[in-house]
């Protein structure tokens, strides 16, 4: 019974932190929208290290970023990043 209570408490703390993090992201995005005129769809430049970390953690970037930013996202990369990923894959 104690383990269940601890697990529930940890889950509750994790949910609260997730809500705080999302509120913080929303606040920052509102600042950028009003100050610099950023708008949806956001163009996100991803690099090889970010893609590798997402792959290791089994995170689908194209699904999770729009949920996190609460907006449409367009993923972008460069030729250098593609070459780096190909070199890491060999």
pLDDT at res. 78: 94
pLDDT at res. 6: 43
CA gap 90, 82 in Å, rounded? 13
The per-residue DSSP string of 53-84 comes to HHHHTT--HHHHHHHHHTS-EEEE--HHHHHH
pLDDT at res. 74: 95
Q: Where are the domains of the chain?
A: 1-38, 40-90
Q: What is the pTM of this model?
A: 0.67
CA gap 43, 28 in Å, rounded? 16
pLDDT at res. 32: 86
- In sequence order, the 6+-apart residues with CB closer than 8 A to the CB of 32 are 38
* Successive 10-residue mean pLDDT values, the chain, 90 residues: 45 59 85 89 89 88 87 93 83
* 41, 71 Cβ separation under 8 angstroms: yes
């Amino acid at each position: 019974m104690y383990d269940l209570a601890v697990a529930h408490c940890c889950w509750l703390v994790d949910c609260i932190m997730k809500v705080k993090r999302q509120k913080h992201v929303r606040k920052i995005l509102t600042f950028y929208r009003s100050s610099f005129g950023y708008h949806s769809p956001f163009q996100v430049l991803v690099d090889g290290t970010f893609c590798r970390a997402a792959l290791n953690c089994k995170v689908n970037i194209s699904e999770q970023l729009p949920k996190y930013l609460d907006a449409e996202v367009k993923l972008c990369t460069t030729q250098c990043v593609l070459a780096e990923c190909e070199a890491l894959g060999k």
